[in-house]
Structure 1
């Protein structure tokens, strides 16, 4: 089972994850992840392309998160 399949099965099959769900996967607090993403660092540069804004909400693509985890 690939990382992407594992994440999809764990979070109900949705192709998008909320900031809280990504924080849980990366073992960080949601506020800590938000601060990390607002800066100019390696993690932010790798996760920003995965980010999608729908209205005022921010979501992340499961495939990109899985790729980030596999590269780390």
Structure 2
């Protein structure tokens, strides 16, 4: 089973910030702060970010690709 299939099975097509923080074993506030910084980490993960209204989600296929790269 690929990383993308596992993420889709567990979280669905979009991961919330809370889902992503759980996956990366970080606190939601710590992840939010990291994503706002000017770092390589933030640039990579912000590319997977999608906004729906005021809510922020991360596309499961993009998250799987980033996990597989590292």
**Gapped regions of structure 2 (runs ≥ 5):** none
Provide the C-alpha distance between the structure 2 equivalents of 1:69 and 1:42, rounded to a whole number of angstroms.
Answer: 14
**Gapped regions of structure 1 (runs ≥ 5):** none
Q: CA shift at 1:41, angstroms?
A: 0.7
Provide the C-alpha distance between the structure 2 equivalents of 1:15 and 1:8, rounded to a whole number of angstroms.
Answer: 6
Give me the TM-score of the superposition, normalised by structure 1: 0.92
* Number of corresponding residues: 70
In the other structure, the counterpart of 2:9 is 9
Give me the TM-score of the superposition, normalised by structure 2: 0.95
Instruction: Please report the RMSD computed on the Cα atoms of aligned residues, expressed in angstroms.
Output: 0.7
Q: Summarize deviations over 1:5-60 as a string: whole Å, max 9, x none.
A: 0111112xx21110000000011000000000000111111011111111110000
